[in-house]
Amino acid sequence: MNYISTRDDKVKVSSCEAIAEGISADGGLFVPESIPEISLEEISALAEKTYAERAEYILGLFLTDFTEDELKACVKGAYSTGFSDEKIAPVVNLPGGRNILELFKGPTCAFKDMALQILPHLLTVAGRKAAPGTEIVILVATSGDTGKAALEGFRDVPGTKILVFYPSEGVSPMQKLQMCTQEGNNVAVCAIRGNFDDAQTGVKRIFTDKAIGEKLRLAGKAFSSANSINWGRLAPQIVYYFSAYCDLIGQGNIKPGDKVNIVVPTGNFGNILAAYYAGEMGLPVAKFICASNRNSVLTEFLTTGVYDRNREFYTTISPSMDILISSNLERLLYTLAGSEKVKEWMGLLAKEGRYEVDPETLGKIKEKFAAGCCDDEATKATIAKVFKEDGYLCDTHTAVAVTVYEEYRKSTGDLTPAIIASTASPFKFSASVLEAVTGEKSGLDEFEMVNELSRVTGKACPPQLAGLKEKAVRFDRCCEKAEMDAVVFEMLNI
Ligand SMILES: *Cc1c(COP(=O)(O)O)cnc(C)c1O
């Protein structure tokens, strides 16, 4: 299967090239030329299989220039260790047709692990085929979660190195500790004096600097990117929606062919887009429900057809969804309206920060998508309510989805069983979750809060978070923006 650019369908590459290159030279994103279909018989057969087997099967439909053995090895490398639940992405049933798909059982306790545990393996195979003998160097600028998940994914993966820059004043104490104590022989972490934008701008500049690129090439290395527009991150996310559906069959909650709704707490639109692709492949889905926090740009877009980023940016208690430009939306627009229109709209977005889709495209969107948003108060109220009524503790991002879903059910009367994506462990956002459960701010430090949350709720903190306090700090360097090049060279010994 070939991949084409969302902004020019004459650009055609293999799946290895799509993954190795990350983004198309015309600024577009790579999308599969056609969507492979999966029958109900195949879904029923997958219901008898393990997560790894489901992953091999579904990825095989998209990554056609990987051999079966290569895919098997990638899947094994990703999901055979590092996940605390043997089901990898277990489904927890709550009353009212709510089925929580827990995507946070990986090493960093956030859903980014689902893709970032396998991406390094896909990338090394793709790199071996697209540019044999080259060492892949991953540079990441992070505001927190992605950096840690990428470090864990790439650690000790042969043929790769990873270097993460984070803003010295822009990550939570827990996130900082997670990164600074990172283990592995091919990893490095460096703070930079500045904010996230400074880190991001610096990384982008290094990526595109011709002289630095040449220096790497001479040393047999090349930069690559692990960010969420890489097809190698999206494809693995399709798997868990099939897996959840299979588990619902196994649990006796649905029969093969029954429709489900899928609810996703959304930021960059990657996770919900993966669900949409699953639906296009044949997973029986009625509605995709896009949940946002107070940054409601997507709610507005999916209900009115107007995308307008010229609005206030809010910092919320669900920070991984604090986003005004959802890059992966471009892939949905391509599927619905084609590359000419995408090019026009993305041009407008870059120039004016706003575009409006035509009525036909909006009609197609509304057929498949519902959307809603909620603020921090409603998010906290949901955490408290779900814990009290159902004994289930959810994190702030998941709570946004649960809130929006409740509202959806009330306003539509649609009682179709729902798969609700749960994207982080509640212990990753202890301060807000503890406040929601107890009704007051605690005044404790990060680790005391983790313990207190565990005590108050009777839930165990994942050991990889609880154990951080005892781990040795390996990376304590903080550099100026201007020193970033030197840090890169130093790490790479070039
Ligand atoms: C990244 C992230 C999201 C948003 O996912 P997208 O694919 O960007 O829409 C939601 N919740 C958590 C915890 C995340 O880390």
Nearest atom (ligand 1) to Cα of 398 = 11
Q: Mean of the per-residue pLDDT values for the chain?
A: 94
Mean pLDDT for the stretch of residues 157-162: 93
For ligand 1, atom 2: residue with the closest CA: 320
Q: Would you state the pLDDT for residue 198? A: 85
The rounded Å distance from CA 149 to ligand 1 centre is 12
Mutate which of 100, 111, 404, 429 for ligand 1? The one with the most ligand atoms within 8 Å of its CB, which is: 111
Q: What's the pTM?
A: 0.95
Q: pLDDT > 70: what percent of the chain?
A: 100
For ligand 1, atom 8: residue with the closest CA: 268
For ligand 1, atom 4: residue with the closest CA: 267
Q: Would you state the pLDDT for residue 15? A: 95
Q: Would you state the pLDDT for residue 114? A: 97
CATH of domain 91-107+232-468: 3.40.50.1100
pLDDT above 80 (res 104): yes
Please tell me the least confidently modeled range out of 40-49, 92-101, 193-202, 334-343.
193-202
Contacts of 52 (CB under 8 A, 6+ apart): 75, 76, 79, 80, 88
Decide: 434 and 453 in contact? Cβ < 8 Å. yes
Mutate which of 268, 296, 432 for ligand 1? The one with the most ligand atoms within 8 Å of its CB, which is: 268
Please tell me the least confidently modeled range out of 182-191, 267-276, 279-288, 312-321.
312-321
Mean pLDDT for the stretch of residues 163-190: 90
Residue 91 β-bridge partners: 101
Residue 483 has which token pair?
């020193």
Nearest atom (ligand 1) to Cα of 274 = 7
Mean pLDDT for the stretch of residues 363-385: 98
The rounded Å distance from CA 489 to ligand 1 centre is 32
Please tell me the least confidently modeled range out of 157-161, 321-325, 376-380.
321-325
Please tell me the least confidently modeled range out of 26-30, 54-58, 121-125, 416-420.
26-30
Domain boundary assignment for the chain: 91-107+232-468
List 49, 72, 112, 364, catalytic entry = 112
Q: Which residues line ligand 1 (CB under 6 A)?
A: 110-112, 145, 228, 265-271, 320-321, 397, 423-424
Length of the chain: 494
pLDDT above 80 (res 144): no
Q: What number of other Cβ atoms are within 10 A of residue 383's Cβ?
A: 27
Active site residue 112: yes
Can you tell me the distance from the alpha carbon of 5 to that of 285, in angstroms, rounded to the nearest whole number?
27
Mutate which of 321, 330, 465 for ligand 1? The one with the most ligand atoms within 8 Å of its CB, which is: 321
The rounded Å distance from CA 288 to ligand 1 centre is 16
Nearest atom (ligand 1) to Cα of 270 = 7
The amino acid sitting at 296 is S
C-alpha separations of 65 from 13, 36, 130, 284, 331 in Å: 11, 15, 11, 28, 22
Q: What stretches of 89-242 adopt beta strand conformation (E)?
A: 91-94, 98-102, 135-141, 160-167, 187-192, 221-224
Q: pLDDT > 90: what percent of the chain?
A: 83
The rounded Å distance from CA 142 to ligand 1 centre is 13
Q: Which of 216, 35, 226, 198 is nearest to 134 (CA)?
A: 216
Mean pLDDT for the stretch of residues 311-330: 90
For ligand 1, atom 14: residue with the closest CA: 320
Q: Would you state the pLDDT for residue 447? A: 87
C-alpha separations of 483 from 9, 216, 429, 488 in Å: 40, 17, 32, 9
Mutate which of 112, 172, 397, 422 for ligand 1? The one with the most ligand atoms within 8 Å of its CB, which is: 397
Decide: 422 and 398 in contact? Cβ < 8 Å. yes
Identify the helix (H) or strand (E) that includes residue 261: strand 260-265
Q: Would you state the pLDDT for residue 19? A: 94
The rounded Å distance from CA 219 to ligand 1 centre is 35
pLDDT above 80 (res 197): no
Residue 229 has which token pair?
């527009």
Please tell me the least confidently modeled range out of 191-205, 270-284, 344-358.
191-205
Mean pLDDT for the stretch of residues 136-160: 91
Nearest atom (ligand 1) to Cα of 264 = 9
Q: What is the pLDDT of residues 204-223, one digit of tens each?
A: 889 888 999 999 999 999 98
Residue with tokens 């959304």: 266
The rounded Å distance from CA 335 to ligand 1 centre is 22
Contacts of 232 (CB under 8 A, 6+ apart): 18, 19, 115, 118, 119, 122, 123, 126
For ligand 1, atom 1: residue with the closest CA: 320
At 27, the pLDDT band (50, 70, 90 cuts) reads: confident
Q: What is the pLDDT of residues 265-304, one digit of tens each?
A: 999 999 999 999 999 999 999 999 999 999 999 999 999 9
The rounded Å distance from CA 391 to ligand 1 centre is 24
